[in-house]
Structure 1
Amino acid sequence: MGGGPAKEVLLIILPLPRPDALISRLQSHHPNLEIRFSQPPDSSSSSPTSPTDLYKDVTVLVTFSSLPPPSSAPLLDLLQLFSAGSNHISDTPLYRDTDITIATASGIHGPQIAEWAIMTSLVHSHKYKALYELQKAHRWGKKPAGEDPGEGENFRDVRDMVGARLGVLGYGSIGRQVARVGSAMGMEVVAFTAGRRDTEESKRDKGWVVPGTGDVEGRVPGEWWSGLDKGSLRRFLARDLDVLLVSVPLTEDTRGFLGKEEFEVLAKGSGEGRGGRKPFVVNIARGPIINQEELVEKLKDGTLGGAALDVTDPEPLPEDSELWDLKNVIVTPHVSGVGQAYTERAFELLDEQLRRREKGEKLLNVVQRKRGY
């Protein structure tokens, strides 16, 4: 004589020690939810599977990529990823062969990644690599060219960011926070999106946002451009951009989106012609969005002023890659979004998702499989 709704079971699989305080807070907000916690077999976010009996009565799964075969999770109806994207699971049966709702953690990474993007841009524009070499050599840095590790850098020609033009290729949660910070520094922002954003409503950020960050209303950009074809992309790149932030998801449309021709358009349209900078490319998205071989070519021949790459193709970046040794390149090992606040913000997003689910409201960050994100 049952009666009442079926028990909801939330399974959290993460490569970290059980976050007791966060789980307790989540439980207090959702007392009718049974919460379980497990680690991947190898405690790595790249683990593709876990023992299948974990999933038999699970209705909500939270993970980076530890996924069951669909047959092992007959009650599952929500997969909440703790990653910003879903391309890393796009070839799995759960993604391809089911209609289980999949949502991402888009929105939690903005502050951390924006700081990385601005930091690396300033490291480049302020010639900090040369300054650091001088510090290591215990030199004040006022020697003629060739007499110190700074190679006689002229630090008087450093330009600040006031009036520089920031092109944001992909105006999602991360792009909006970079735009916010850049705008506060006096930069002019030009946004590029897949679809048109020609109304106030279409410019709004409808995802989860860390309070006090981002550009919820879409008011920061002075220009909006859109499209998924190379013609639209090149028209955007020709808009006198000094810094190009790559923050689009990796899809079939964006794979190889930026190559030699695009970098040449970017350089021709950059502020160099008005006494400004050669364009600086910042990639915090995914490595395959850029044709890496052609990027290296344009970094070496002076078409581009430099690049900051937190993602590469492939990853890890091979030890013999030329990128490691180019003076105008900053390479980091896909860590721009990693920080102490990551897990707490992800749980805040999860809390909101569960609240919406219980109320029958629209969930945040739901992946549209045909679109790819």
Structure 2
Amino acid sequence: MGGGPLKDKILVAIPGKEPTEIIKHLEKKFPDIEITFVSPAPDFTFKDSKNLPISIFKDKTILVTFFSLPPTPEDAPSLDWIHFFSAGTNHVVDHPIYKDTDITLTTSSGVHGPQIAEWVIGTALAHSHNLYNLYERQKEHKWKEEGRRYVVHDLVKQRLGVLGYGSIGRQVARLAKALGMDVIAYTATPKDTPEKRADNGYIVPGTGDPDGEIPSKWYSGLGKEDLHEFLKQDIDILVLTLPLTDDTRHMISTPEFEILSRKHTFISNISRGAIIDQPAMIAALEKGLIRGAAVDVTDPEPLPDDDPLWSAPNTIVTPHVSGNASSYIERAFGVLELNLEKRQKGEPLVNVVNRRRGY
């Protein structure tokens, strides 16, 4: 990733209409790059490159994509950087480019913060304000449910626990703080200095917690004892915003729900469904150990029609849409543009994937 003038041939392989204005902007700003655009499929379900000619990868140095990769590293001998428009790379970990090369991989982590944070806060408020129950009354043309008192437990002085304090968690924290909540954070590695607490990834301007100043307390570790210490901190709302790895799979299961039952915690999961032991969560909801849940991710996806999660009490289920935003593509290109600047200057790129950690 050396400095000097860029001499790059870039393949942008993303579904949908060509973003001509963005591409013109990049080619004007970086006159030594050449951009080729292809649309692999009409929607976001495309997960391989079977309808792309292999020859299209041959002379490309940079690939910009969601899912479309050359079948083998040998099909793209000049490739030294892949920028994913997704926040993670767990969908390509078994690909030979991921496993058998040192091609630099970057993600669009950071572009999802605003819209997903609004989903987290919006679903939490919908639950605490009884909006779903009230909407059912509206459809029945009933003023209110007879004999029921509608009491709102506002968020002031409640505690938000953010499990995985990345770009999304930081924007959730920002909104929660504005509502009067106390925020505590949990990360895999210790954040015991101001430098370690800073967000060094891509940040949508005016959002997040760039300096890591919002949490009143930080917790860290990869062991169950460390996690349980965090969960014991009287958390009212627990937000899961961490990647799916071998270490995080079923990270929240029966023992964790038993700890959270002390505060009757509300669970919000926008990361990956398998981070939660789903049957254990359903059991916790049915037993009243936790007061509710909002999940935009499930295990598996799509959620089968007969899955008991659909009818779990006090649960909001949405079909993995919290990250969708009209500005998504524009912001993802913003990460690419920032990294093109850094590549030109010979500086370290942002959002580089650490293959050992898996994100």
Q: Check whether the contact 1:191–1:225 (CA below 8 A) recurs between aligned residues.
A: yes
Q: 1:98 aligns with which of 97, 101, 112?
A: 101
Task: Determine the structure 2 residue equivalent to 1:61.
Answer: 63
Indicate how the Cα distance of structure 1 residues 337 and 41 shifts in structure 2: closer, same or farther if over 3 A, else same: closer
Residue 191 of structure 1, CA deviation? 0.1
Residue 255 of structure 1, CA deviation? 0.8
Task: Determine the structure 1 residue equivalent to 2:39.
Answer: 39
Q: Check whether the contact 1:164–1:242 (CA below 8 A) recurs between aligned residues.
A: yes
C-alpha separation between the residues in 2 aligned to 1:255 and 1:78?
28
C-alpha separation between the residues in 2 aligned to 1:86 and 1:44?
15
Q: 1:155 aligns with which of 138, 146, 150?
A: 150
Aligned letter for 2:336? L
In the alignment, is residue 195 of structure 1 matched against residue 197 of structure 2?
no
Q: 2:326 aligns with which of 334, 340, 351?
A: 340
Q: Check whether the contact 1:310–1:333 (CA below 8 A) recurs between aligned residues.
A: yes
Q: Check whether the contact 1:14–1:45 (CA below 8 A) recurs between aligned residues.
A: no
Task: Determine the structure 1 residue equivalent to 2:335.
Answer: 349
Indicate how the Cα distance of structure 1 residues 6 and 301 shifts in structure 2: closer, same or farther if over 3 A, else same: closer
Residue 143 of structure 1, CA deviation? 2.3
Q: 1:214 aligns with which of 203, 208, 214?
A: 208
Task: Determine the structure 1 residue equivalent to 2:292.
Answer: 306
C-alpha separation between the residues in 1 aligned to 2:283 and 2:311?
13
C-alpha separation between the residues in 2 aligned to 1:200 and 1:90?
32
Q: Check whether the contact 2:137–2:145 (CA below 8 A) recurs between aligned residues.
A: no
Residue 337 of structure 1, CA deviation? 0.4
In the alignment, is residue 363 of structure 1 matched against residue 349 of structure 2?
yes
Aligned letter for 1:175? G
Residue 31 of structure 1, CA deviation? 1.1
C-alpha separation between the residues in 2 aligned to 1:252 and 1:47?
22
Residue 327 of structure 1, CA deviation? 3.5
Q: 1:318 aligns with which of 281, 291, 304?
A: 304
C-alpha separation between the residues in 2 aligned to 1:142 and 1:346?
46
Secondary structure of the equivalent of 1:264? helix
Task: Determine the structure 1 residue equivalent to 2:77.
Answer: 74
Aligned letter for 1:94? I
In the alignment, is residue 123 of structure 1 matched against residue 147 of structure 2?
no
Q: Check whether the contact 1:45–1:64 (CA below 8 A) recurs between aligned residues.
A: no
Residue 43 of structure 1, CA deviation? 4.5
C-alpha separation between the residues in 2 aligned to 1:41 and 1:82?
15
Task: Determine the structure 1 residue equivalent to 2:18.
Answer: 18
C-alpha separation between the residues in 1 aligned to 2:144 and 2:9?
62
Q: 1:287 aligns with which of 265, 273, 283?
A: 273
Q: TM-score, normalised by structure 2?
A: 0.96
Q: Runs (4+) of structure 1 moved beyond 6 Å? A: none
Q: TM-score, normalised by structure 1?
A: 0.92
Greater relative CO, 1 or 2 (CA 8 Å, sep 6+) = 2
Aligned letter for 1:110? G
The number of residues matched between the two structures is 353
**Deviation digits for residues 246-296 of structure 1 (CA, Å, limit 9, x no counterpart):** 00111111011110101111222x2xxxxxxx2110000001111011111
C-alpha separation between the residues in 1 aligned to 2:95 and 2:296?
25
Q: Check whether the contact 2:197–2:211 (CA below 8 A) recurs between aligned residues.
A: yes
Secondary structure of the equivalent of 1:281? strand
**Deviation digits for residues 191-228 of structure 1 (CA, Å, limit 9, x no counterpart):** 00000001010000000100110000100000100011
Identity %: 51
C-alpha separation between the residues in 1 aligned to 2:32 and 2:143?
65
C-alpha separation between the residues in 2 aligned to 1:219 and 1:116?
23
Aligned letter for 1:282? S
In the alignment, is residue 243 of structure 1 matched against residue 229 of structure 2?
no
C-alpha separation between the residues in 2 aligned to 1:83 and 1:38?
17
Gaps of 5+ in 1: 145-151, 271-277
Secondary structure of the equivalent of 1:11? strand
Residue 137 of structure 1, CA deviation? 1.1
Indicate how the Cα distance of structure 1 residues 133 and 358 shifts in structure 2: closer, same or farther if over 3 A, else same: same
C-alpha separation between the residues in 2 aligned to 1:221 and 1:41?
42
C-alpha separation between the residues in 1 aligned to 2:247 and 2:80?
28
Q: What is the correspondence of 1:107-146 to structure 2 with a 5 Å cutoff?
A: 107-141=110-144, 143-144=146-147
Aligned letter for 1:155? Y
Secondary structure of the equivalent of 2:219? strand
Indicate how the Cα distance of structure 1 residues 53 and 266 shifts in structure 2: closer, same or farther if over 3 A, else same: same
Residue 326 of structure 1, CA deviation? 2.4
